[in-house]
Amino acid sequence: MRALKSVGVRVGRRLVASVPALLGVVVFTFVLMRVLPGDPAVFFASGPNAGQAEIQMIREQMGLDRPVHEQLIRYFSEIGRGQLGRSMTTGQAVVADLRERLPASLELTLVALILALGAAIPLGILAALRPNSPLDHVVRFVCSMGVCVPTFVSGLLLIYVFYVVLGIAPDPTGRIDIFAASPPDITGFLLLDFAITGDWEGWRAAAGQIILPACTMALFVLAPLARMTRASMLAVLGSDFIRTARSIGLSRWKVIVVHGLRNALLPVITITGIVFSTMLGANVLVEKVFSWPGVGSYALDALLGSDYAPVQGFVLMMALAFVVVNLLIDVLYGIADPRVNVE
């Protein structure tokens, strides 16, 4: 109980410490968007007859006719009310858009990460057990291929093979078959929602939609995870305590997994945290190719249209996600290695 409380206090302290950084991010993005060339009012006043009057109306509607510092104060007061402004691109409140799209991105990223870890850790261990063997070279080759093929190429390739040629994948258009009934909206994570309602047919359909984009992303992040596992395992397997464990006759499994892997896991966890945050923001190409309604493609469309509010909202959300993920990683450190302290 006491331990839990102290963890809670530490977590709280960390969150409070992150507030100045978040404020900085908000101000920085806010100013950056306004410094970039391109006037959103002109972009959106593109009706067949829109003239200066319409441009001015949009400018007023977006609050762009006011001085920048006033706009910033208004933006902060909006954040205080839990609002992030309105997107011109989709016509919705940014908060509503993010709430709808974040689960899609998170679900995709999590599934991809699980797939990647599921493949990378065994591959990394195998490569570490037989360094410079043909097996090691095969793993290195697979990793290099994964990281050097851009995700939109591997995505299109997977679509081509599994959808166009073999016809076994569903059409690559979003999270669920367009002709199916709309999914239960409980958590926004379709796999979870279908499991909760016990609709296993729907679950299979959703899984069928997510598998290709998740594989595309997993391929891309396989390399850092597998390489890091290999390097870290190599270092640990060469250390004294492993030799000791071997010499006292512990089973091979126990030596590798309990004594080796657990000690080798710290850098892998660090890398996993970084990879996760990067994937969440950088999977925009995968989202575009698979028409995945995630936050990445949302932010990109907004950026191309100089649509300020969604970009600012997205960056703020990513900053928050980074804080949370880092915190989570620190807690995981403590579990993997009790000597490490969350402080």
Partner 1 sequence: MKFNRRQGFQAAAAAGVAATAAPREAMSQTRAETLRQVMGGVINSLDATMLGGTREGFGLVMNTYDRLCSMGRKPVSTGGFTFDLDNIRGELAERIDRSADGLTYTFHIRQNATWHDGTPVTAEDVKWSLDRSVSARSLAPPQMSMSSYTSPDQYKIVGEKTVEVKLPRSDRLALGNLSTPYAMMINSKLAKQHATSDDPWAINYLKENQAGGGAYIVESHRPGQQLQLRRNDNWKNGLNGELPYFRRIIMQTVPEAATRASLVERGDADLCIDLAASDVPAIEQRNRAKVVAIPQGNTFQCIVFNTRVAPFDNPKVRRAFALALPYDAMFQAALFSRGSKYYGASWTQAPNGLFPQPLGVNQDLDRAKALLAEAGFPNGLETTFTYAVSMSAFVDPMAALLQEALGRIGVRVAIQKLPDAQIGTLIVERRLPFFTDLGSAWLPSPDYFFRLYYSGETRWNYSGWQNAEVTAMAQEARFTIDQARYDDICRRMIDISLEQMPHVMLWSGNHEAVMAKNIEGYTYWFHRMVDWRDLKRS
Residue ranges that bind partner 1, judged by CB under 8 A: 37-40, 42-55, 57-58, 61, 87-92, 97, 100, 153, 156-157, 159-160, 163-167, 171-174, 178-179, 182, 288-291, 293, 297-298, 301, 304-306
Nearest to 319 by CA among 107, 20, 13: 20
Pick the closer one to partner 1 by CB: 220 or 276. Answer: 220
Q: With the C-alpha atoms ordered 104, 105, 106, 111, is the resulting torsion angle positive or negative?
A: positive
Instruction: Report the residue number, 157 or 196, with the smaller CB distance to partner 1.
Output: 157
CB 165 to partner 1: min, Å? 5
Nearer to partner 1, 220 or 333 (CB): 220
Shortest Cβ 88–partner 1 spacing (Å):
5
Minimum Å distance from CB 135 to partner 1? 25
Q: How far is the CB of 213 from partner 1 (least distance, A)?
A: 12
Q: Residue 127 in contact with residue 321, Cβ under 8 Å?
A: no
Q: Tell me whether residue 30 or residue 44 sits nearer to partner 1 (CB atom).
A: 44
Output the smallest distance, CB 130 to partner 1, in A.
29
Other Cβ atoms less than 10 A from the Cβ of 134: the count is: 8
Minimum CB–partner distance for residue 12 and partner 1 (Å): 36
Q: How far apart are CA 136 and CA 226, in angstroms?
A: 11
Q: Is 93 helix (H, G, I), strand (E, B) or coil?
A: strand
* Inter-residue contact 147 to 220 (CB < 8 Å): yes
Q: Which is nearer to partner 1, 136 or 177 (CB)?
A: 177
Nearer to partner 1, 76 or 162 (CB): 162
Query: For residues 206 and 200, what is the distance between their CA atoms, to the nearest angstrom?
Result: 10
Query: What secondary structure letter does DSSP report for 341?
Result: -
Angle at 210 between CA 209 and CA 213, to 5 degrees: 110
204-222: buried (b, 16+ CB within 10 Å) or exposed (e) per residue?
ebbeebbbbbbbbbbbbbb
